[in-house]
Structure 1
Amino acid sequence: MKFVFITAFLLSSFAIAKAQDLNQVMKKMGHEYKLAIKSQTHNEMSRHIAAFILLVEQAKEQKFTDDKAQESLKGLNLTLELAKQAAILANEKELHAAKLKLKEVDELRIKYHKLHEPPSVWELLFGG
């Protein structure tokens, strides 16, 4: 019986660690995104976008709940596509166009973060 409790504890700890890993990756993505948006030179922007792209790839490797995995990966793939387009623009010294492309990434962030928000009290009570 003790073995069952220990196993359950370890599995739940592992699941929490995975969620925290994804949370940490997302925080780092947000940081690199902000640095890219604030960049004043194409070299600086390119460096931050490249770091952002690596973090998006790491996020794609994380485990998502079964009911949200497909949509989450779709959002990350769209984010990756926009970030790569922004990287090309930054390399071509088109900072304004690259920043506009990065703004599209932020719009995706808003849309897909709603997937992972817990339901409100009203949604729990009345459905939604």
Structure 2
Amino acid sequence: MKTIFLLLCLFSTLALAKPEVKPFDLEANMKNMGLQFKKAVKAPNQEVLTEQLLKLTKLVKLSKTAKFPDGKKSISIEGLNKVIKQIELSQKLNSDGKFKQAKETLMKVDNLRKEYHEHHKPPSVWKLIFG
């Protein structure tokens, strides 16, 4: 009887325990964003571009939920917001029938990526030594 009671307690405790939540993998998400960006840039027509831009927007918004290193959150969110605005502008141009301009506008996202990735690079050895 005691054994059954102990087993019931054990199983009820396991059932109530919260499963561990897998942490958000920002690096994997960024790689997916890069892939969607490349697909959008290579889109052969308006429909494919619209589909890729929607996927890219979802991934960028998901990235905003990630945990960023101390002191980097505000600059990261700022950069992601600029990327979203650029994608939305590209979407608008695409829906207005300006396919070529939409793709040209989308290329500015790559410039934003380069600009904001600079903020996340570790400082060089020389900068650490000489400030």
TM over 0.5: yes
Structure 2 counterpart of 1:60: 64
Match runs of 1:1-128 below 5 Å: 17-18=23-24, 21-127=25-131
How many residue pairs align between the two structures? Answer: 111
Q: Distance in 1 between matches of 2:39 and 2:61?
A: 18
- Structure possessing the higher radius of gyration over alpha carbons: 2
TM-score when scaled to structure 2? 0.79
Write the letter of the residue equivalent to 1:92. D
| Cα RMSD, aligned residues only | 1.7
Which structure 2 residue ranges, 5 or more long, are not aligned? 1-20
Identity within the alignment, % = 35
TM-score when scaled to structure 1? 0.81
Which structure 1 residue ranges, 5 or more long, are not aligned? 1-13
Q: Distance in 2 between matches of 1:121 and 1:66?
A: 20
